[in-house]
Amino acid sequence: MSSILTGGSVTELLSEEALDRADIKARIERAEMRVVGRYREKSALRDSPLFFDEPIGAETSPGIVQLRGWAETDSGEPDIEAMPDGLVRRLRVVIAQVVQWGVKREETEQVDSESIGSKSTSYKDLQDLPTRLFQPLDKYDTRAPFGDFW
């Protein structure tokens, strides 16, 4: 069950089209797992004695979530009461964006391209999940930057 995007924030952040989906609760839960999993430290898995038995991203991942202000309950669930309001709000926005992106992608799977006036959008070779969706969390991201100077 989702524990970050809940209550009034669901209707506030999601479109009517997304809310009308029969599987909206499952979509929200998957989006939440995907967002939190993006920031969960993966290196901790390598130290686990179950590393070869446990796929990366498993729910039992011992890695910490690398977001400034992130808090979890003893059972490993997100503790939104202990997190800063700004982080919770941005997490909700990002989770909603991931859900919306999934709905939009599902609609465009059968369409190769779309023309509106003089502009055309191609849906061939869409990325898996655009990184721009996660930009609202950049302020809280404590992961080491990827890349280095040569």
Structure tokens at 70: 């992130």
Looking at the domain assignment, is residue 150 inside a domain? no
pLDDT at 147: 65
Mapped onto helix, strand or coil, the DSSP state of residue 23 is: coil
Q: Is residue 147 part of a domain?
A: no
Decide if 42 is inside a domain. Answer: yes
Mean of the pLDDT values across residues 41-46? 58
pLDDT tens, residue by residue, 75-99? 888 999 999 999 999 999 999 999 9
What pLDDT, in 10s, does the model give residues 103-113?
888 776 655 66
Whether residue 56 is contained in a domain is answered as yes
Does the residue 98 lie in any domain?
yes
Most confident of 105-114, 124-133, 134-143: 134-143
Structural domain span for residue 62: 8-109+124-140
Domain-embedded: residue 117: no
Nearest to 88 by CA among 70, 72, 75, 113: 70
Strands (E) located in the chain? 113-116, 119-122
Query: Which residues neighbour 141 within 8 Å (Cβ) at sequence distance 6 or greater?
Result: 39, 66, 67, 68
Per the structure, the count of domains in the chain is 1
Whether residue 48 is contained in a domain is answered as yes
Q: Is 25 among the domain residues?
A: yes
Q: Long-range contacts for 75-78 (Cβ within 8 Å, ≥24 apart)?
A: 77/3, 78/3, 78/4, 78/36
Radius of gyration (Cα) for the chain, nearest Å? 17
